Structure 1
């Protein structure tokens, strides 16, 4: 399959979602935005639902790659934790910032792609657990600390200052974990 053309279809799907949302977007809209015939679009996706799901997967996979790279970076633990959380927050801010409709792609309860959102959040949480375990953070189980950090980011997602506040918020939480804050 021609990946470039599929990317064009997914880009067009995103453009349509920005304007119309998931429910109101049609295959004709996607075809027009892609500069293709409707039948040509069907060579790359089965239907609108398939296009929307593939788009959600692409966006979440890219954010997952950023989070994995951040976790593996040769940086202090606190910076790696911050950067993993930044990958999650940046995905949310980008989608919510483009349109209220594109924020729909973050809905873990959505029939088409909810599992994609949930898998992404679990992957971010797992990366954090690994980082906190590696740091030997005492006093709080790494899994609990990771869940708190993810909940922090989820809680910040609607705040207009979230991007600026992420660093200080993570530093504040990590300061309570003896080994994680400074390693």
Structure 2
């Protein structure tokens, strides 16, 4: 299967989702956005649900790559690495929400089609953050996994605010300071 052509199918699926949403998008819409026949689209995806699912997997994987890169960058101070992981999640949410109210459907873990993708994404972020807090240590009585949960709760709260991108740096610095018991470098 040609990866470039599959990417075109997923790009067309995204374009359709921004206009119509998951429920109203059809395979004909996707084919039309690509300028090909519906049967040509079926060479790359089984059906609309498969196209939407693959699109979500691609978007979440791109965000995970950014999060993993931030967590692994030992040249950065610990607080910056934590912020990088949180930024990957926040950017995914804000970008999808900003493109269209319909593309925000790709973030809903209650949607049967996407629930495992959303859940796995947050679990992977939790694992990355837990590793960072295991490395740095946390204040007495608070384990690394609990510190990771607090960070995820912070970014989920910020997702609903108007100035989320501006608030994340000072909020994450303050949070990390409290969680590890030392000021960020």
TM-score by length of 2: 0.96
Q: Secondary structure at the match of 1:176?
A: helix
C-alpha RMSD of matched pairs (Å): 1.1
Q: Secondary structure at the match of 1:6?
A: helix
Cα distance in 1, alignment partners of residues 184 and 19 from structure 2: 45
- Equivalent residue for 2:46? 46
Following TM superposition, by how much is the alpha carbon of 1:179 offset from its aligned partner in structure 2, in angstroms?
A: 5.2
Correspondences of 1:14-163 after superposition (within 5 Å): 14-73=14-73, 74-139=75-140, 140-163=142-165
Kept in 1, the 8 Å contact 2:173–2:184? The answer is no
- Matched residues in 2 for 1:92 and 1:177: separation? 25
Provide the rounded CA distance (Å) in 2 between the counterparts of 1:118 and 1:159.
Answer: 22
Unaligned runs of 5+ in 2: none
Deviations 1:59-107 (A, max 9, x none): 0000000000000012111100001000000000000000010000001
Would you say the 8 A contact 1:68–1:127 is kept in 2? yes
Counterpart CA distance in 2 for 1:118 and 1:17 is 21
Distance 2:38 2:156 in 1: 38
